[in-house]
Amino acid sequence: MAATEQLIETLSRDLHPVKPLRKPVERTALWSAFATVVIAIIAAVGGSRADLAHAMGEASFLFPLVGSWLTGVTAALAAFQISLPDRARGWLWLPLLPVLLWGTGFAYTCFVNWDNLAASLELLPESACLATILVTSACLIAVLLPMLRRVKTLRPNLTAWLGCLAVAGFADTAHLLVHTEQDSLLALTVNLVPAILVVVLGGLAGRRTV
């Protein structure tokens, strides 16, 4: 009995209180608020698009804008949920509708402006769209990654994919608010390609990073 008590005393001697992990909804709200502030700062520093007031009345602009922002929020919530071992894999489907809204608005813009393909080719080398997406993504990943790594998840790849989808959604929200280029090839390049790369590479690196 004495040996058992001594063992318990040894194991508990230098223990420190552990701060409970915030609920997934709370962490999602905090990170989404941070992401929204980052987007506002980038729009203020880089200058929002000149036709923003007019664009707010166009469905072809509002659908991808709302869809990309909601993708960021729902994918972040799904990432925080799926990182916990006792949560169902059904959380993976949470961002589905926002992603469809985001993609539908983008696809509509592409079809409407498909006849401006030559103009898109001329704009692409001079565009700062990619820089906006990369800067936004870097800021968001720098905060999201430590938040996800606080949980030693059993599903690192799924967590990373969802986290990067959230980053891609918010990054495109910043792009849509700052840049006016809507031609098909340019839109395809600056919207889908970086988003797909971030999601795929993030997922593949998930086991090492999350």
Q: For the chain, how many residues are written?
A: 210
Cα dist from 2 to 6, 12, 13, whole Å: 6, 15, 16
In a domain, 51, yes or no: yes
Q: What does the pLDDT profile of the chain (210 residues) look like in tens digits? A: 556 777 666 666 666 666 777 899 999 999 999 999 999 998 888 776 667 777 777 777 788 889 999 999 999 999 999 999 888 989 999 999 999 998 887 666 666 655 554 454 454 444 567 777 788 888 998 999 889 888 877 788 888 889 888 998 898 888 888 865 554 344 445 545 655 666 666 666 655 566
Cα 12 → chain centroid: 40
CB 150 within 8 A of CB 21: yes
pLDDT (0 to 100) of residue 184: 38
Nearest to 175 by CA among 210, 137, 202: 137
Q: Whole-angstrom Cα distance, residue 21 to residue 12?
A: 21
Domain assignment of residue 12, yes or no? no
Question: Count of domains in the chain?
Answer: 1
Going from the C-alpha of 8 to that of each of 11, 14, 16, 175, the distances in angstroms are 5, 12, 15, 57
Residue 202, domain member (yes or no): yes
Check: CB of residue 51 under 8 Å from CB of residue 180: yes
* Confidence (pTM): 0.77
14, part of any domain: no
What local confidence, expressed as pLDDT, does residue 52 receive? Answer: 73
Structural domain contains residue 6:
no
Query: Is residue 4, in this structure, part of any structural domain at all?
Result: no
Domain of residue 109, residue span: 22-209
In a domain? residue 17: no
Q: Residue 28 domain-assigned?
A: yes
